[in-house]
Amino acid sequence: MRYLVLFSLLVTFVSNSAEHIDDHYYQTHSINALTGNDGYSFIVLGDWGRNGHFYQKPVAKWMDIASYQLDAEFIATTGDNFYDNGIASVSDPYWQTSFEDIYHQPHLFIDWHPVLGNHDYRGNWQAQIDYSNVSRRWEMPSQYYAKNIALGNENALLLFIDTSPLNPDYANEPKYLAAYTQGSQTQLLWIEEQLKSSNAKWKIVIGHHPLYSSGKRYGKTDAIRGVLEPLLEKYDVDAYIAGHEHDLQHNQIQGSDLIHIVSGGGSEVRPVSTYPFTKFAKSTGGFVAVTLSDTSVLFRFIDHNGNLIYTHEAQ
């Protein structure tokens, strides 16, 4: 009996110590000026699955801290979830080495809502959907899907779309014919119906390919832009969030209210430049935190060192 009591005391001590260490960690590791968790927040990560290489691990660390500070509801991805050639099955070791072992921190065990990128189509893209039946936090019901969010007196509509089948640039790309030959009309009709029938205060679309880029693909996005931009403009979409470019960007076209965000700094990074539509562009690892309220949508860009490097608010 005495040993049982001692063991119970030891377990209690260790448990309390762990809680103290955990609390201390988030008190001493924080992102300056990342305040205001009274809205509905989520984190957007893109171009990330590289077995922990490049900036993937430090980005994961600061995502966890941001999620703690903002009490984030979920994590969205902008695609290219597994480099270089996607995954083979739901039991592919990449699930462990590129996802489970990297994003293991306590505040990353919330829902993940991914979209597919072009590199995901080099492998078994259906396995990424099927992994939703394996992992509680991986929530990808289909290639494209909607999420409705209640915001007090208002609401928001988020569309998670699959841009590879929509991208005319892939018509002659052997690596991506499995995507492009699926056709685009069914998905485009679905996108239009979702936007047309929504009375949401905020409409946000999340996909892989950007419509404008201040990075590597500057001047090379005309094809996908011609497909998507008319729909997004017609139905007053507030923001289009993409990846594909390995950096962080905010682009704004003169005369348009549509906000173009690129969150592709999940691991490897590439150079960026400044163009007439560039509001912000930086070649850095990192992610974007989005906070929605009845009156505003706030985008905060955080780099792999835990610095808040850019903020944009729309009302």
Percentage of the chain beyond pLDDT 70 is 93
- Overall average pLDDT of the 7-35 stretch: 64
The pLDDT > 90 percentage for the chain reads 90
Q: Distance between CA atoms of 69 and 90, rounded to whole angstroms?
A: 32
Least Cα distance to 80 among 166, 184, 209 occurs for 209
Domains of the chain: 40-291+299-314 (3.60.21.10)
* Pairwise CA distance, residues 51 & 173, whole Å: 26
What's this model's pTM, rounded to 2 decimal places?
Answer: 0.93
- Phi, psi (deg, nearest 5) at residue 232: -65, -40
How does pLDDT run across 290-315, given as a tens digit for each residue? 999 999 999 999 999 999 999 999 99
pLDDT digits (tens, 9 = 90+) for 86-144: 999 999 999 999 999 999 999 999 999 999 999 999 999 999 999 999 999 999 999 99
pLDDT at 10 over 70: no
pLDDT of residue 13: 37
